[in-house]
Amino acid sequence: MADIDVTSTSTEGFSTTSTIGDWELRVDATDENGPNPNAVLVADYASCFIPALRVGAQQEGFDDLGTVQVDVTATLDDNDDLSGIAFDIAVETPLGDATDDVLARAEDICHVHTALREELHAEITVDDGAAL
C-alpha cells in the first residue's frame, strides 16, 4: 500500500492538475497557468526545509525561531534542468554558535533534502491508448 497517492491529469497543452488528497495543484511547463515543475520543486524544498529548521532548532534548545524566511535562487543548465539551488535564510531568533548544528539537523530532517538524489528517479510504466 502506498503512503502517498497522487493523480495528475493533463487534458491538453502543458498544464497538469495534480490531486493530492483534498488538495489540487496546477503546474504548467510554460508558466502560463501555474508555476513550472522546477519552480514547484524549489518551493517544495524550501517549504520542507523551514519546518525541519524549526525542529532542528528545538532539538538544539531554541523554543521558537519566530519568523523564518528562505529566499531561494535556483540555476538551470542548458537543458532547463536544475543545476544548483541556494538558500538565503533569515531567522528572527539569533542562533549564534548553534547555527551550524541547527542547519545540520535540518538537513537530516528535511525529506526533500534527503530525496534529492539520483536513486529516487521514478520507475516508469506507460499505458498507451488508455481510456481516460
pLDDT digits (tens, 9 = 90+) for 72-113: 999 899 999 888 899 999 999 999 999 999 999 999 999 999
pTM of the model: 0.87
Residue 55 corresponds to which cell in the numbers above?
525542529
Report if residue 128 sits inside a domain: no
Q: Does 44 lie in the same domain as 57?
A: yes
- Is 42 found in the same domain as 104? yes
59 and 81 assigned to the same domain: yes
| Residue 127 located in a structural domain | no
Looking at residue 21, its amino acid is G
Separation of alpha carbons 41 and 5, rounded Å:
18
Question: Does 30 map to a domain?
Answer: yes
Residue 128 CB coordination number (10 Å): 4
